[in-house]
Structure 1
Amino acid sequence: MTKVSRSARLFEVIQLLRNAKGPVLAREIAEALEISIRTVYRDIASLQAMQTPIIGEPGVGYVMREGYDLPPINFDVEEAESISVGLSLIARTGDPSLWRAARRASRKLHEAAPGTRQLLTSAWGVENVTKVNLSELRKAIRDERKMNIEYCDVEQQRTERTIWPLVLIYYVDAVLLMAWCELRTDVRHFRLDRVKKANLLSDTFLGQSDALIEQWEVEQKHNVVPMREL
């Protein structure tokens, strides 16, 4: 296993605590970062000595006080998105050490550009031809703007739908869009090569993405299609 530098490991500890919804045990940090519990205790003590606002103690768990920020990474939106997808694709190399390093890098990237959480890849490759403007679609996801699409299903039936674009998933033979469909009043997956027309609307669904994505993620845990999220 490739050894992670101490500074990178301290960053990871901070990230885990900042993203946690409650106290995190030293054992949980050790398992997540693949280090010993004794190392976790040393790292927490070092961070506290550097005035990092971590409170807690062994056996109880640790919490990061709200309002602690890290310096931003200077990527523009599309640069961050391209790096996020590229890091995801490293999973296909079969190199566990490289994949762990990619996950660490991705967590740092997500801190600077939270919207990259909404770009996923499968573990087996990406090939797709679509008439949809992917840059425009990704912006619609970030801005929580509705879209009107004309969709042709596997039986060649065409329907016009108003959708709320939520997540892009890059598979080996297609790019899928997960979206809330107003026609079906439910989450649906759309192959972009079957989208014949797509237009941005002025209507938005501001503030509703996170809850829909979380619900979808829970449902996907039982999906037989292997997917990896950074």
Structure 2
Amino acid sequence: MRRGDRLFELIEVLRRSRHPISAEVIGEQLEVSKRTVYRDIAALMAQNVPIRGEAGIGYVLEPGFHMPPLMLTLDEIEAAVLGAQWVATRGEPELANAAANLISKLEAIAPSGSETFFDAPSTNVAPVEPPKEGLDSSRIRAAIRNRNKIWISYRDDKGSTSERTIWPLLLGYRDAGRIIASWCELRSAFRYFRTERINAANVLRDRIPQRMDLLRAEWQKAMASEREKYMAPKAVTRHEDP
């Protein structure tokens, strides 16, 4: 759980309790240590959240406290709507629907006077034809979150086909299509795979054996090395397979 989400949940735990609640009980509910609870409560109190109590006795949230509404400037609303529009026109159905829902939620919390940003926005994203893919991008995103390997049958730019087992790290969205940044077991190197060139694919039960943060750090280091190598006189070229 991200720290911001945990702080919100901590406030909700205190809000539900009518009596002082100990750090131990809070920690059990949030699945964190007492030390983390103490640190989070101190952070909330520093932000003027009215929490009373102390270690060894318990904590209580003073009545009448409400989380402040999300305050967005007009530029922030426009930026968020524009970004959501881009995803709505270029994401797979699941992500496109989520983007449309996000726009609706933004409209619900937007300050008075910002209606035109939704009814008649001053910015827009041109529609594009959805790419043809051999593997639904929502499954790729799920595989990345769950650290699953993916087997693919891949066609290169010359039409040759090969079978690969990849460790997906990141799914990149472009106007022209989508690309998977991965570790390729066959090449023993980081590679990019264009989703429209995937003939067939299967998300495997096999898990990626390395921590994702460490693997991404290795990938970023490798990409930085490539940028330095190709910065001059020609542009950086990604290693699309083969």
Q: Which of the five TM-score ranges fits, normalised by the shorter chain?
A: 0.3 to 0.5
**TM-score, length of structure 2 as denominator length:** 0.42
Q: Which has the larger radius of gyration?
A: 2
**TM-score, length of structure 1 as denominator length:** 0.44
